[in-house]
Amino acid sequence: MMRGAAKEPPSRRSPNRMRPQSGFPLETSAARQSYASKQRPADAVPGGSTSRRKITMPTIAFLGLGAMGSRLAKNLLDAGTDLVVWNRSKEKTEPFVAAGARVAATPREAGETSDFVLAMVADDEASEEVWLDTERGALAGMKPGKTAVEISTLQPGWVRTLGEATAEKGVDLVEAPVSGTLPQAESAGLVFFLGGKEAAVDRARPILKPLGKSFDRVGDWGDGATVKLATNAILGINVAAWAEVIGMLGRSSVDTQTAVDAIAKTAVWAPNFGYLTGSMIQSDFDPKFPITLIDKDFRYALALAGADRAPVVDKVRESFEGAIAEGLGAENMTALAKLYR
């Protein structure tokens, strides 16, 4: 495990939610009532009595407010969640506090104050730090019976190591990597690949419901990561293929858009090809999925598959590395097309 800075005492700030002042809107009472109705136990008194047991909504922490994480956290707020947020740079938490969330000083504090802790960070190293730092990590603050949900794209081996560490503390781990980029994150259209014990996955699904459209359990710890890396390998191969083809069309006498429209009527067309080709033709490289991140995913996929067993993945990663060398790493993955014009 990693060692961190000196231990910071947990915050004793009031759990009362703040009135929205700025930033994004928060649907407070109506959304919370709707959420509570879905969580209400089936213990109504026979005969139509309105008496029920007191309903306690779970507190959810979200760690990591990057481009994807901030959109997921916003969706949780919009669903009326009692939300705690943490981010390495504190200024990213300010819109959430203004909209009604509480901020944790450390991941450990978030773990102490929440029933479910969700994290979405860049890579294995960031995941290890946010969960397992002995002084500041979220797991250090979590009691038995709580649930950790790791949404980041990670290596399967690391996910299994994290699962073993959580199990030692009596905390359940659900891995939940997603397929989709910023538009899907904003519209709650993400596809989740869930891994972990079946009972833990079943508990996590209602928490994740405001964030996506599909929540299949694909296996145990590490299996979700494997499916996610396979998905992104296929995605990246398609990006590279279209980057070369768009370049080839652009150097020919045919109009590129006309050619693509004709190809779209054939059996080779896939649902995301319209987005990929449109981005390349229009030179719209706003970073919905930066090249540096898909390159990281290809590195993880090659570590899993072995370069000798995945030569196409290996070659495509060389292309992404070439784009990074040309200064394109922060641009969208479709900016790979710049190499072939």
Evaluate whether 102 touches 48 at the Cβ level (below 8 Å): no
C-alpha of 94 from chain center: 20
Residue-averaged pLDDT of the chain:
88
- The answer to which of 46-55, 195-204, 274-283 has the lowest mean pLDDT is 46-55
pLDDT single digits (tens) 94-151: 999 999 999 999 999 999 999 999 999 999 999 999 999 999 999 999 999 999 999 9
- The tens digit of pLDDT for each residue in 287-330 reads 999 999 999 999 999 999 999 999 999 999 999 999 999 999 99
Residue 106's nearest CA partner among 87, 120, 121 is: 87
CA distance 77 to 98: 11
DSSP state of 172: E
- In contact, 335 and 323? CB cutoff 8 Å: yes
pLDDT digits (tens, 9 = 90+) for 143-156: 999 999 999 999 99
pLDDT of residue 23: 43
The residue whose two tokens read 């570590």 is: 303
Mean pLDDT of the 50-68 span? 78
Q: Are 147 and 117 in contact (CB under 8 A)?
A: yes
Structural tokens at position 207: 């928490």
Q: How many CB atoms lie within 10 A of CB 134?
A: 13
Q: What is the pLDDT of residue 341?
A: 95
Q: Return the CA Rg of the chain.
A: 22
Q: Determine contact, residues 194/175, Cβ cutoff 8 Å.
A: yes
Q: What is the DSSP letter of 332?
A: B
User: Is a pLDDT exceeding 60 seen at residue 48?
Assistant: no
Task: Select the more confidently predicted residue: 53 or 305.
Answer: 305
Which amino acid, residue 79? A
Q: Which two tokens stand for residue 44?
A: 């109504």
Higher-confidence residue of 25 and 325: namely 325
Q: Does the pLDDT at position 267 exceed 70? A: yes
Quick one: which of 123, 124, 119 has its CA closest to 104? 119
Entry pTM = 0.84
- Long-range pairs for 237-240: beta carbons < 8 A, 24 or more residues apart: 237/312, 237/313, 237/316, 238/270, 238/272, 238/273, 238/276, 239/276, 239/294, 239/316, 239/333, 239/334, 239/336, 240/316, 240/319, 240/320, 240/336
Whether residue 254 contacts residue 286, with contact meaning beta carbons closer than 8 Å, is answered with no
Read off the DSSP letter of residue 179. E
CA distance 117 to 29: 23
> For position 15, what pLDDT does the model report?
37
CA dihedral for 14, 19, 21, 27, sign (positive or negative)? positive
Strands 212-219 vs 190-195: parallel, antiparallel or unpaired: parallel
Which structure tokens are listed for 278? 């449109």
